[in-house]
């Protein structure tokens, strides 16, 4: 037993077990005794050995979070929500950047079974549903952001990608556009698939024919978005609007439009997703979907800490509403 605890116990006139109960905020200690022990702890400037405490409890009081690209402001806001929430519960956070590499993501998730972290948060993960199910079936705690799986052991927090994507395309249709392109993210991303599904749904609802040639992938990156938009232009297929799967891709579209002397929104309407920090400062300001990034991070952290504290909520899933922000890049009626 830690001699320092014994020293505190002697000065306070209580047992070492009582000191331990006070440190763990046990209800078995009277308020009077608790205050006496806390006063001695303060006088002696005593700090419990965290490593020893974690060894006894089998908990590290640490969460991990894996993001595909830490440079992307979308992921930075989610991390902020996780970190602030964890800090409020006296948990620490280890941040892992997979750099869009599936093998690196798999390496980082190993921090759970080796007990470096108590739980891992995966943001837009590359792992398949089967791999996630297998990991959870072994008793390892993980939570998802921007992705859902049909497994009651895996909590998740996401937005309705299909619904808000349909709203984006409906907005463009109301502005008089009929040839609308879509530049997606990673081809195998669940978010990308759902946003494309919403795009196609809006076209179907308005009885506008789907044109496969107006689809490209931009890998959620500015440079890839630029390349994807140039490929669309070089196909010589007519289109007057483009919906991009995130704002980073839209930045690439803006650059390509400048180079090709295409006016936004008069010649080309552009709508993105995420409402990143720069979107409102572009000329014209970018129409985009406000994603509740911070809230998603905070919510999944709350869920995991609740499970770790045996105080879990009944609902394992959370779907948070997104908002379409109409700005100058699409606020122009093509019919006029």
Q: At 117, which CATH number?
A: 3.40.50.2300
179 part of a folded domain: yes
Task: With CA atoms as reference, report the closest residue to 165 among 213, 212, 119, 197.
Answer: 197
335 part of a folded domain: no
Q: Counting every residue, how long is the chain?
A: 336
Confidence band for 315, pLDDT divided at 50, 70 and 90: low
Mean pLDDT of the chain: 90
Domain co-membership, 145 together with 166: no
Domain co-membership, 130 together with 224: no
Domain co-membership, 168 together with 282: yes
Whether 172 shows a pLDDT value over 90: the answer reads yes
Domain co-membership, 215 together with 176: yes
* Domain count of the fold of the chain: 3
The gap between the terminal CA atoms of the chain, to the nearest Å, is 81
Confidence band for 15, pLDDT divided at 50, 70 and 90: confident
Segment 227-243, tens digit of pLDDT: 999 999 999 999 999 99
Alpha helices (H) in 97-246, listed in sequence order: 102-109, 129-137, 161-174, 190-205, 222-234
Give the pLDDT confidence score for residue 51 in this predicted structure.
Answer: 47
Confidence band for 165, pLDDT divided at 50, 70 and 90: very high
Task: With CA atoms as reference, report the closest residue to 53 among 101, 82, 78, 19.
Answer: 19
Token reading at 261: 């002397």
Give the pLDDT confidence score for residue 58 in this predicted structure.
Answer: 62
333 part of a folded domain: no
Confidence band for 168, pLDDT divided at 50, 70 and 90: very high
* Spatial distance between the Cα atoms of 275 and 292, rounded to a whole number of angstroms: 10
331 part of a folded domain: no
Mean pLDDT of 245-262: 97
Exposed, middle or buried by CB within 10 Å (0-12, 13-18, 19+), for 57?
Answer: exposed
Give the pLDDT confidence score for residue 3 in this predicted structure.
Answer: 47
330 part of a folded domain: no
Segment 41-60, tens digit of pLDDT: 878 777 665 545 554 456 78
Task: Evaluate if pTM is beyond 0.85.
Answer: no
326 part of a folded domain: no
Highest-pLDDT range among 68-72, 109-113, 285-289, 332-336: 285-289
**Residue 35, domain extent:** 3-56
Domain co-membership, 175 together with 252: yes
Taking a C-beta distance cutoff of 8 angstroms, is the pair 157, 318 a contact?
yes
Whether 328 shows a pLDDT value over 90: the answer reads yes
Domain co-membership, 262 together with 312: no
Backbone angles phi, psi at 250, to 5 degrees: -60, -35
Highest-pLDDT range among 17-31, 136-150, 203-217: 203-217
Residue 124 gets the label, from left (phi > 0), alpha (psi -120 to 50) or beta, of left
Token reading at 314: 């009944």
280 part of a folded domain: yes
Beta bridge partners of 62: 92
40 part of a folded domain: yes
Domain co-membership, 79 together with 182: no
Task: Write the CATH number for 15.
Answer: 1.10.260.40
């Amino acid at each position: 037993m830690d001699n320092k605890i014994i020293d505190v116990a002697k000065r306070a006139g209580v047992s070492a077990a009582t000191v331990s109960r006070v440190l763990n905020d046990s209800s078995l200690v009277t308020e009077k005794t608790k205050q006496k022990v806390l006063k001695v702890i303060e006088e002696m400037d005593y700090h419990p050995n965290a490593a020893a405490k974690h060894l006894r409890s089998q908990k590290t009081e640490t969460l991990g979070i894996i993001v595909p690209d830490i440079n992307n402001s979308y992921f930075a806001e989610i991390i902020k929500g996780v970190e602030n929430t964890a800090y409020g519960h006296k948990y620490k956070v280890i941040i892992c950047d997979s750099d869009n590499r599936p093998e690196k993501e798999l390496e980082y998730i190993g921090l759970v079974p080796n007990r470096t972290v108590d739980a891992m948060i995966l943001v837009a993960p590359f792992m398949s549903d089967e791999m996630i199910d297998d990991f959870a079936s072994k008793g390892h705690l993980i939570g998802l952001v921007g992705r859902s799986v049909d497994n009651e052991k895996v909590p998740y927090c996401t937005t309705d990608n299909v619904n808000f994507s349909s709203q984006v395309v409906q907005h463009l249709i109301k502005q008089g556009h009929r040839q609308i392109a879509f530049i997606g993210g990673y081809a195998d991303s669940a978010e990308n698939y759902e946003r494309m599904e919403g795009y196609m749904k809006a076209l179907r609802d308005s009885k506008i024919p789907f044109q496969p040639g107006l689809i490209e992938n931009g890998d959620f990156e500015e440079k890839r978005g630029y390349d994807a938009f140039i490929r669309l232009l070089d196909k010589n297929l007519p289109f007057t609007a483009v919906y991009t799967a995130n704002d980073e891709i839209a930045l690439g579209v803006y650059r390509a439009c400048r180079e090709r002397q295409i006016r936004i929104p008069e010649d080309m309407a552009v709508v993105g997703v995420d409402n990143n920090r720069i979107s409102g400062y572009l000329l014209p300001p970018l129409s985009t979907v406000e994603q509740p990034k911070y809230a998603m991070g905070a919510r999944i952290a709350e869920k995991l800490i609740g499970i770790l504290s045996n105080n879990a909520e009944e609902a394992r899933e959370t779907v948070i509403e997104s908002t379409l922000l109409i700005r100058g890049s699409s606020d122009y009626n093509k019919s006029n």
